[in-house]
Amino acid sequence: MSQEKIITVKNLTKTFGSFTAVNSISFEVNKGEIFGFLGANGAGKTTAMKMLIGISKPTSGEALVAGFDIKMQSEMVKKSIGYMSQKFSMYDDLTIKENITFFGGIYGLSRIQIKQKTVELIRELGLEEVADKLVGALPLGWKQKLSFSVALLHEPKIVFLDEPTGGVDPITRRQFWEMIYAEANKGTTIFVTTHYMDEAEYCDRVSIMVEGKIEALDSPKNLKKQFDVASMNDVFLKLARNIE
Amino acid sequence: MKRFIGFVTKEFYHIFRDKRTMFILFGMPIVQIMLFGFAITNEINNVNIAILDQSKDTETQKIINKINASKYFNIQEEITNENQIESIFKKGKVKAVLVFENHFIKNLQTQKLAKVQVITDATDPNIANTITNYVNAILQNYTQEINKTTPGNYQIQAQTQLYYNPELKSVFTFVPGIMTTILMLVSAMMTSISITREKELGTMEVLLVSPLKPFQVIIGKVFPYIFLSIINATIIVLLGFFVFKMPLEGSLLLLAFESILFIVSALSLGILISTVSNSQQTAMMISLMGLMLPVIILSGFIFPISSMPLPMQIISNIIPAKWFIIIIKAIMLKGASIAVIWKETLILMGMTVFFIVLSIKKYKIRLE
């Protein structure tokens, strides 16, 4: 494999008291790929992701994100990544433009950059008519697209998406994935957690976490072959049963 | 710095677009001060008083008639000696006793000065104060009249004596009290709510993932409230001064400094509350029960600390509001300088530092 690694994780562990949420996981993510990070609720995927984005300190192990050590250089890590949380993470009482200005501002974009980005982003999403309306008035699907675009404002190398499509209709989900593809084609690495197994099929590679460990990691095609099943859903079920 | 301004701008949008927040911030202080101010009424009507006329001459009779004719007073009783004053007050029949000295008319004619003693029941200090003022006004009016008809610079002097509460202990406490309550409310409750709101919405996570440092996030969140609290304090002081004639003897600079100190201590309490609560409701409940009630009950705002049972008096010492009320009363009423209130200021400062350190520690633990 000669591909450039953008995330390298080695024996990353997080314990809370006697409970091990993340148990010595190791994996690598290639630059520009869509990496699906799967697992049941409580499997440890959120904890693992929080360590990678620098809001939780690992108990042991190491990880490099965009070439920076998450323990020693968390500030640099933060500058290189974008993040969209599973809750809709913009301010309902601010207008679309104000939200963009605010998030651009905290990522240190200059006023001119923010202006340019605002115009571009609003045009791309076709939001010209509602640009000065409060975000709270937008339908959820729009909000999520907007929030994804805002996470990309500062042109991060990697964007972390934490269950980005929770609660939206299949059509919007499809559109959302088209946006993800478009961004990945530009060379941005996408790190996405989800529990929709059909979405797992859209990823270049997928890792499945069960009880704090990564039990499977490969392309959806290879995983289906390996487990001899027809869909990612079955891969997941089989894996969960084997552990039990 | 640019980031900081952006952050603060956003925070102001939150505040100005939320009607509830705006009401608590600006409606509440005005409503409260008006309620307290006017509920402790400045108007008196038909107040029962007693007269002890030791002179019984034509002048005293004229004055008594004049007082009786006013709608403010109603002469309930005429007593004959000083020993009766105490018992008449105890019965609660009258609010005040006017005592005309012996040889009233003679004093007025020979020395051009006669004295009336105005003895008031100061258990209701506000009424006592008003009565004294009204009696004074009537006496002055009367002197002006006699000076007009027979020029000679005659004077009738009212000597005030207060029974039961000689220092009028609670009369001007409501302005400092409300100021304390409001500052506590705005600073602690509003900040704790606004921080927990970000937690609830999930935006806090996004802020923490951004290159902003945690302390920048917190400072950005509390800064607007420092600013608004200062405006609030100013409004309250101005209302107290202009509407309720609250004296403002001491240095405004010192008052501002002490207020900011208190605001900062309340803000750090707000941050502390936000670290232990996960929802806006929890934050609000903790603020109300944990901060507002002690401020109202134990700070000496409504109930004088000196009349509390000893355990409560001891507990009241850990309430920052108690010290702040002492400080601003001393500044506003007595014109105290820092030399007089340095001890209270130090205590308040100590508490502030303690809360700041504690909330930073708590906040860090939460981030781990």
The pLDDT tens digits of the residues spanning A6-64 come to 999 999 999 988 899 999 999 999 999 999 999 888 888 889 999 999 888 899 999 99
| Strand A5-16 relative to strand A19-30, pairing | antiparallel
> How many Å lie between the alpha carbon of A223 and the closest alpha carbon of chain B?
32
B209·A93 Cβ contact <8 A: no
pLDDT of B166 higher than 70: no
Q: Tokens 């630059």 appear where?
A: A31
Q: CB B230: neighbour CB atoms within 10 A? A: 15
pTM: 0.73
Report the pLDDT value the prediction gives residue A55, as an integer from 0 to 100.
84
What's A3's DSSP letter? P
pLDDT given for residue B173 in this prediction: 65
pLDDT band at B257 (very low <50, low <70, confident <90, very high): very high
Q: Around Cβ B59, how many Cβ atoms within 10 Å? A: 20
pLDDT at A81 over 90: yes
CB B321, CB B235: distance < 8 Å: no
- Which residues of chain A are within 8 Å of residue B6 when distances are taken between CB atoms? 101-102, 105-106
B242 has a pLDDT exceeding 50: yes
Lowest average pLDDT, out of A16-25, A88-97, A102-111, B144-153, goes to B144-153
Statement: residue B334 has pLDDT above 50:
yes
pLDDT at B41 > cutoff 60: no
Option in A75, A85, A103 nearest B205 (CB): A85
Segment B70-76 shows an average pLDDT of: 85
How far is it, in rounded angstroms, from Cα B288 to Cα B295? 10
pLDDT of residue A95: 93
* Average pLDDT, rounded, for chain B: 84
Q: Quick check: B212 and A101 CB within 8 A? A: no
Question: To the nearest whole number, what is the mean pLDDT of chain A?
Answer: 89
Number of H-type helices and E-type strands within chain B: 17, 5
Q: What are phi and psi of B119, to 5 degrees?
A: -105, 120
Quick one: pLDDT at residue A1?
Answer: 46
Q: How far is A67 from chain B (nearest CA, A)?
A: 16
pLDDT tens column, A137-161: 888 888 888 999 999 999 999 999 9
* Element (DSSP H or E) covering residue A9: strand A5-16
Q: What is the pLDDT of residue B352?
A: 92
Whole-number Å distance between alpha carbons of B136 and B155: 12
- The residues near A164 (Cβ < 8 Å, ≥ 6 apart) are A84, A86, A144, A148, A176, A192, A194
Give yes or no for residue B149 having a pLDDT over 60. yes
Residues A104, A153: contact at Cβ < 8 Å? yes
**Cβ A106–B13 below 8 Å, yes or no?**
no
User: pLDDT of A182-212, one tens digit each?
Assistant: 999 999 999 999 888 888 889 999 999 988 8
- The Cβ of residue A42 has, within 10 Å, a number of other Cβ atoms equal to 12
> In A, what residues contact B, Cβ < 8 A?
53-57, 75, 78-79, 81, 83-94, 98, 101-103, 105-108, 134, 160
Q: Return the residue matching tokens 């001060």.
A: B33
pLDDT for residue B91 is more than 90: no
Q: How far apart are CA B128 and CA A30, in angstroms?
A: 84
Distance of alpha carbon A62 from alpha carbon A1, whole angstroms: 21
Contacts of A89 in chain B (CB under 8 A): 201-203, 205-206
Can you tell me the mean pLDDT for B290-306? Answer: 79
Give CA separation, A238 vs A21, A194, A218, A233, B169, in Å.
Answer: 22, 18, 15, 9, 78
Strands across the sheet containing B155-163: B73-79, B47-53, B96-100, B113-121, B155-163
Is the CB of residue B210 less than 8 Å away from at least one CB of chain A? yes
Q: How far apart are CA B225 and CA A199, in angstroms?
A: 44
Under 8 Å CB pairs connecting chains A and B tally to 74
Instruction: Tell me the average pLDDT across B192-211.
Output: 88
In angstroms, the CA A96 to CA A79 distance is 23
What confidence score (pLDDT) does residue B84 get?
Answer: 85
Q: By the CB < 8 Å criterion, does B337 face chain A?
A: no
Cβ contact B208–A55 (<8 Å): yes
Cβ distance B7 to A105 less than 8 Å, yes or no, reads yes
Contact A78 B207 (CB under 8 A): no
Query: Measuring CA to CA, which residue among B13, B26, B11 is closest to residue B186?
Result: B26
Per-residue pLDDT, B307: 66
Taking the C-alpha atoms of residue A102 and residue A90, their distance in angstroms, rounded to an integer, is 10
CB-side neighbour CA atoms (13 Å) of B176: 27
Q: In chain A, whose CA is at the least distance from the CA of B365? A: A56
CB atoms within 10 A of CB A244: 6
pLDDT score for A33: 94
Give counts: helices (H), strands (E), chain A: 9, 10
Is the CB of residue B366 less than 8 Å away from at least one CB of chain A? no
Q: How far apart are CA B212 and CA B236, in angstroms?
A: 36
Q: Which 3-state string (H, E, C) describes A136-197?
A: HHCCHHHHHHHHHHHHCCCCCCEEEEECCCCCCCHHHHHHHHHHHHHHHHCCCEEEEEECCH
Q: For residues A54 and B209, is the Cβ–Cβ distance under 8 A?
A: yes
Of residues A81, A91, A102, nearest to B6 (C-beta): A102
Nearest CA in chain A to B204: A89
Q: How many other C-beta atoms lie within 10 A of the C-beta of residue A239?
A: 19
Nearest to B269 by CA among B177, B201, B360: B360
Lowest-confidence segment of B10-14, B15-19, B266-270, B298-302 by average pLDDT: B298-302
Q: What is the predicted ipTM?
A: 0.85
Chain A residues in contact with B206 by the CB 8 A cut-off are: 83-85, 89, 103
DSSP state of B289: I
Going by the DSSP 8-state scheme, the letter that residue A105 receives in this structure is H
